[in-house]
Amino acid sequence: MRTKIKNAFSSKINAIGLPILALCWVSFFWGTTWIASKEGVKHMPALQLAAIRQFIGGFLYLAFFILKKTPWPKGKQWKSILILSVLNFVLSNGLSTWGVKYISSGLGAIIGAIFPLWIVIITFFRGERLARLAVIGLFISFTGVCVVFYDHLGDFLKPDFRFGIFISLISTLTWAFGSLYTKKKAASFNPYFSLGLQMFISSILLFAFTGATGTSVSLGEIPMISWWSIAYLVLFGSVLTFIAFIYSLQHLPAAINSVYAYINPIIAVILGFVIFGEPLTVALAIGGGVTLFGLYLVNFSMRKARK
């Protein structure tokens, strides 16, 4: 009898505890990847860093599934994988990595969190009505972003800063389109295998772009600190944390699973302050908090509308 109770208790803990543990992992480590990206792009071209990171990460995924003799995608599944490769990894991940070369990691993380706002705006232009709560959330988030940029008004005179903000915003837009496309074209194909293929394909496209534009450097010129950053991004950004993310997505309600999006920027801002001495101002703290609260309202409204 005791054994049965003990086994039942252990099963319940595993059913609840492991997904929550996976979510905690995602919430923390995806926040740290902004710091690793910032350190890496100080010493090498940003798009080349993204290409190497995604090539190694994608190769590891593919090697695993090839050894397992997992069936390859068929027909229209390849089209979806190719489109998501471009939207999620070439553009979103590539541009966000490039963006932190010119702006702080904390600011990049806050901008990266606003992609739900694009989803609401895109759906509005598609003819869908916006719930009142979503409109309120949009207004609050916009107010928060204005407060965040209050301390950076002088920085907008710098072309590099403006460029970093611009490509960071574009990266959130492409992630929003990628999220909507994933929802529309959701297939039964293995999500981990698909992820590996997206990473690998995107790395080939990024290598082709950096090679054609002459913006890459030889591997021997890349300093060890950037290689350590790439290793961290591959292990904790592209492999372990994506596995944890998909696992938590499959075992937790959307309302709980979305918590990571509010914690990642906080982790990035704090670590940016501690490690790089990036300014942690009152405007950044208040504006960031207001922006995240507005995003929460938008996400809550979207989940309520789906129900």
Chain-centre distance for alpha carbon 241: 11
pLDDT confidence of residue 299: 75
Which whole number is the average pLDDT over 180-205?
A: 84
Which whole number is the average pLDDT over 78-93?
A: 93
Read off the pLDDT band of 188 (50, 70, 90). low
Taken in order 93, 87, 298, 239, is the CA torsion positive or negative?
negative
Give a yes or no: residue 203 inside a domain: yes
Give a yes or no: residue 90 inside a domain: yes
Give a yes or no: residue 149 inside a domain: yes
Give a yes or no: residue 35 inside a domain: no
Give a yes or no: residue 65 inside a domain: yes
Q: What whole-number distance in Å separates Cα of residue 226 and Cα of residue 219? A: 11
Q: Above 70 in pLDDT, residue 94?
A: yes
The structural domain count of the chain equals 1
pTM, whole model, 2 decimals?
A: 0.84
Which whole number is the average pLDDT over 292-305?
A: 76
Q: What angle do CA 299, 303, 306 make, to 5 degrees?
A: 140
Which whole number is the average pLDDT over 72-97?
A: 92
Q: Above 90 in pLDDT, residue 163?
A: yes
Range of the domain at 288: 44-306
Q: Is 284 exposed, middle or buried (0-12, 13-18, 19+ CB in 10 A)?
A: buried
pLDDT confidence of residue 191: 83
- Under 8 Å between Cβ of 87 and 177: yes
User: Tell me: the pLDDT tens digits for 209-251?
Assistant: 999 999 999 999 999 999 999 999 999 988 888 888 888 877 7
Which whole number is the average pLDDT over 282-290?
A: 84
User: Tell me: the pLDDT tens digits for 18-45?
Assistant: 888 888 888 899 889 999 999 999 999 9
Which whole number is the average pLDDT over 50-72?
A: 94
Helix (H, G, I), strand (E, B) or coil at 215: coil
231 φ, ψ (degrees, to nearest 5) = -60, -40
pLDDT confidence of residue 272: 86
Q: What whole-number distance in Å separates Cα of residue 33 and Cα of residue 268? A: 8
Give a yes or no: residue 284 inside a domain: yes
Q: What whole-number distance in Å separates Cα of residue 284 and Cα of residue 303? A: 28
Q: What whole-number distance in Å separates Cα of residue 37 and Cα of residue 28? A: 15
Residue 161 or 300, more confident: 161
Q: What whole-number distance in Å separates Cα of residue 133 and Cα of residue 116? A: 14
Give a yes or no: residue 7 inside a domain: no
pLDDT confidence of residue 282: 82
Closest CA to 17 of 174, 181, 251, 176: 251
Give a yes or no: residue 171 inside a domain: yes
